[in-house]
Chain A
């Protein structure tokens, strides 16, 4: 079954925030932000903007009726900077005018004077200076210190992974307008409608019931609209309230890129100890998370880096410490994988270093250390239904590694100009919000008297197909035609207190809540059918839109049943509430059972580098992925392929560059490059591991949003191996992304570079097009 939105998408009829027909009198906003990364605001003069013809209002921190605070986990982030700015792109003022152009022109009239302070962009420097967003965290198992001397091999190193811009093609935006009795309705492109509602209520000083948030769909989210859609909604809501007019704010791409946070860059150190037969006995790592200027979701992201710091391996002695470092960059935020990719990269780098030193393929170390049934994760959870070994073996069955090695060696020997490299990337990713209390969801299911059904949940559709899956759950529960089911917009007045659609959990949580609601309704309907037929409810069931008993069809169809139940005064509405069972986690001991289950998979990458130009292509990327018993193979395959390529982008061409003053240099699509149709591997295969799937997953179909992203890490190591085939003396460092620049510089390292004049830097012709 294809995504139920597909037809509307293909005909351009799907409505995103900026497509909502505007009400008469709608005003348009423009955000004015700091061009200085750190400093004291000496002057913020909005008078000329306010006097600009067509301007209806200009708002700053002083105008906020409630509290100037949008922080989520920690209350440390202002909507508008007040006395101090702490990153380039920090909002200072909001201009509202009769049209976008007027707002933009008026905004340029605002005069700011900011006395610059020293700006920190490097997380290690921030850590040295004690600039932490929250206390450091350590996960450990066994005793690392006492283990090193038992190791036959000990290797050390450090890693750098860059940030990643979400680049949802639909930029951030909101449309807010006053409603009756002092209310505000906000249409927002957000993954977290409740977060928008709570924060707008905080900003406006209203109780939550006066703020309604409605979300039809997003043009991409990827985590970038989990918390960071909120500020724009609050600004629109605040102006709408003050002016009692509809206010729309859609960010221009460059403003979006300048103001919003991204995937966290990490700097890390590692130490790995192995036995002579390649068992990893000990692993120690320190992560320096570049959090930006405020906590945002960084604490939770940091936790997930720790949870996944040993990836798919069982290591008896571990000690991993992570620092959430405060820097003068936009607050970094959720991005598909949520810290997991950064943590896993360090583990894989440690294995790659060991493999390099021991002159063996990394996969020999990987395979030797895979988790097995009943092994303990470093956070105490006992691994169940472990599929990593099977994924790896299935992949090896399709692509015998030794034979591939030989093919690559032969190719490399024959080709002076082109070199190939291989890498295997296993993934183990835990499913559940690591903050246990977020693992709850509700679904409101109406059966209308004609037999059609409307379902509202807390899930937000952003292309991942969650609405389609929920529709399938409802249709499956009642055994009726899916066309009878309609999924409504996500609206805080229908489903309240929701968790954001994040952590790959949208379908599990909201699907389970829908299933509970449907099953309760089904029970009532069957009771009604029993009354109608004079039989016992336990003997009846619905199959293909008809009521059956032990003997066969009863002759009562779905519509008749619903109509009768309504006449019989049966409640045809149900609210399902689901809270994931079993999970718990103790943050003082860092032990527990935080995940409902884990998703496993293994991927293979083959890269070819042009050793003259430093450019590269991926010939092949193959994954064997554990989907459980996929309830929608079309959608799941789309998620797996898309995630894998997004991960490849992060590891290869997507390079966020800031200057030393904290100004983003790669601030548009001509300087920040994401994969295009020619960048993806020539062959991409997605094989589903045959499994039954856990009962705690919706219809035994595992969560699929995030785990495939981490396959992309293999792209980095495949390139690294290809570089070494050309230049055995190339530095084996772990600095991602592996751009064509990094590739070329490593290819020619120590090989007599051209006579170089001193490096010149000039901002003069930086922005070239």
Chain B
């Protein structure tokens, strides 16, 4: 049994846990305001809000319903456009109206949902954050400027929001219908436990890969849903390490104050990972298990010396994240094992770390090539260097040769140029829809150099590095 509140109404349903939320909303609940655009999380037309209790606090995030397995909404509040409507338009709807931000209207409910999600955020609003809230919504008609103008005025309205009682403020100011005030209590009264998944179940996190790649299999599959397992969501420091649970989402990671402390630019870097609603769903464990050659999170953490903790019924083992991948979509995971967490070693010094990604579209796109670097320099001497690159071989790859070449060498332009040449011997990109092999080779060099330009500002001139 899956129990959740859909808009105002509690539902207790016996659907398969891997059926997608979108079809359930549209075709079983006849709530047709949520639209189907792509069924792969790339358009945002089916965006809904997910409210859940976390540490007794009701938090809302935008999610993509086409990629959400029904099992993942258990114990939560799901809000569709129908669940936001009042007699009069809400300030979000009104501003979109006044700025002419709707044309054909098919993407519009998704934008209303995302912007309403922004009004419910626990972070203070800013125009940048309001615009960022719709970075997963595609509009083919307006050219976005009217939407941007609406988002800016909505953000201005939120400056008076009561930080103590945000939900009540939103209700009082007609952003939300009154029933929202009672949701927290109703959720806490609902049974949170769920039946065990049974043997040989498929493991699923946020669903952002599996629900794209094999939606029909998932709809039938026996699933072990890891997404809401609190013990796998932990992000904490312990014994000179940072532990990140496999079910932590990209949003959890980028918003973690612990990670922000050690990786000050993680917010900026993670903005390049998909879109806000997908980051609200996609988990670290899923990104690792999917073993994509351009997995952003894998590349990001690999260079930090991340170790992977794999657990099964009998015990557990750890291995370096960089050695987890064998070949295209093949990993060292054994039957019965699941990814529990990764650990990042702390040295007492802040990480000197950078992440780069180039894709056809800067945001909400899959990398053509991505790259990360961790470097430690002592008086011009490179004490340690770890570089990784995705999209240039069948697996996300640690670049051992340039890293080894630089370690112990001096940080000079000549050495960097030499390292970039060494790098070319270690990669074997193929031509595909994301770019030609030649382009990816060139990008691999450029992004390798980008790390040094970013991490040592003013030290190198561009033409020294790429002449």
Contact = CB atoms under 8 A, between A and B. Distances in A.
Interface of A: 2-3, 5-16, 18-19, 21, 101, 104, 166-171, 217-222, 250, 252-253, 416-417, 462-465, 611-615, 634-635, 637-638, 641-646, 653, 655, 657, 665-666, 668-671, 673-680, 684, 739-741, 744-745, 748, 751-757, 759-762, 764-769
Contacts of B40: 253, 668-670
A465 B32 contact: no
5 contacts: A12-B32, A12-B80, A634-B100, A655-B360, A769-B209
Contacts of B445: 754
Nearest to A745: B439
Contacts of B134: 677
Contacts of A5: 102, 105
Interface stretch (B141-149, B154-162, B337-345): B141-149
Given A646-B140, A768-B292, A754 B421 contact: yes
B85 to A, nearest CB: 5
A615 to B, nearest CB: 6
B36 interface: yes
B212 interface: yes
Nearest to B42: A669
Contacts of B294: 768
Given A169-B37, A744-B446, A753-B438, A463 B81 contact: no
Given A217-B105, A679-B362, A740-B360, 11 more contacts: A2-B98, A3-B103, A6-B97, A11-B89, A12-B34, A463-B104, A463-B105, A611-B462, A642-B143, A655-B360, A768-B366
Contact of B140 (A2, A10, A18, A674): A674
Interface in B425-467: 428-439, 441-447, 449-450, 453, 461-463, 466-467
B8 to A, nearest CB: 15
Interface residues of B, number: 102
Contacts of B429: 760
A462 B366 contact: no
A5 B100 CA distance: 11
Interface in B58-79: none
Nearest to A726: B462
Nearest to A464: B103
A644 B146 CA distance: 13
B104 A218 contact: yes
B43 A169 contact: yes
A677 B148 contact: yes
Contact of B135 (A16, A166, A222, A678): A678
Contact of A676 (B30, B31, B38, B135): B135
A9 B102 contact: yes
A642 B106 contact: no
SS class, residues of chain B in contact with chain A: loop
A645 B143 contact: yes
B115 to A, nearest CB: 11
A220 B143 contact: no
Nearest to A645: B143
A613 B356 contact: yes
Given A2-B100, A10-B93, A220 B141 contact: yes
B96 interface: yes
B216 interface: yes
B360 A220 contact: no
B275 to A, nearest CB: 8
Given A169-B45, A752-B467, A217 B97 contact: no
Contacts of A751: 466-467
B431 A760 contact: yes
Contact of B138 (A169, A170, A755, A760): A169
B363 interface: yes
B106 A765 contact: no
B7 to A, nearest CB: 12
B244 interface: no
Contact of B292 (A643, A760, A769): A769
A642 B141 contact: yes
- 5 cross-chain pairs, A with B, having the tightest CB-CB distances, nearest first: A12-B33, A463-B104, A219-B106, A9-B105, A645-B143
Given A9-B102, A170-B104, A615-B358, A765 B97 contact: no
Given A9-B102, A13-B33, A769 B430 contact: no
A745 B33 contact: no
Contact of A217 (B104, B438, B442): B104
Interface in B137-190: 137-148
Nearest to B212: A769
Nearest to A654: B360
Contacts of B449: 612
A463 B108 CA distance: 11
A634 B368 CA distance: 39
B104 A646 contact: no
A764 B393 CA distance: 12
Contacts of A6: 97, 100, 102, 105
B221 to A, nearest CB: 14
B438 A3 contact: no
Nearest to B465: A612
Nearest to B219: A101
A645 B430 CA distance: 32
A98 to B, nearest CB: 13
Nearest to B461: A416
Contacts of A752: 467
A761 B437 contact: yes
Interface in B265-285: none
A678 B421 contact: no
A12 B450 contact: no
B431 A761 contact: yes
A222 B140 CA distance: 9
A218 B104 CA distance: 7
B87 to A, nearest CB: 11
A668 B38 contact: yes
Contacts of B109: 9-10, 12
A10 B108 contact: yes
Given A220-B140, A769-B212, A769-B292, A10 B42 contact: no
Given A19-B32, A641-B142, A676-B363, A665 B102 contact: no
B89 A768 contact: no
B368 A741 contact: yes
A3 B140 contact: no
Contacts of A417: 453, 462
Nearest to A655: B360
Contacts of A766: 432-433
A454 B396 CA distance: 62
Contacts of B463: 416
A745 B328 contact: no
A641 B462 CA distance: 36
Contacts of B358: 613-615, 740
Given A612-B446, A668-B42, A764-B328, A10 B106 contact: no
Contacts of A748: 442, 466
A10 B89 contact: yes
A104 B216 contact: yes
B248 interface: no
A614 B100 contact: no
A463 B105 CA distance: 7
A719 B230 CA distance: 49
Contacts of B334: none
Contacts of B212: 670, 769
B398 interface: no
Contacts of A657: 433
Contacts of B37: 169-171, 253, 669
Interface string B81-100: 11001000100010011101
A169 B442 contact: no
Contact of B360 (A252, A644, A653, A762): A653
B33 A11 contact: yes
A696 B446 CA distance: 56
A768 B148 contact: no
B436 A759 contact: yes
Contacts of B450: 612-613
B131 interface: yes
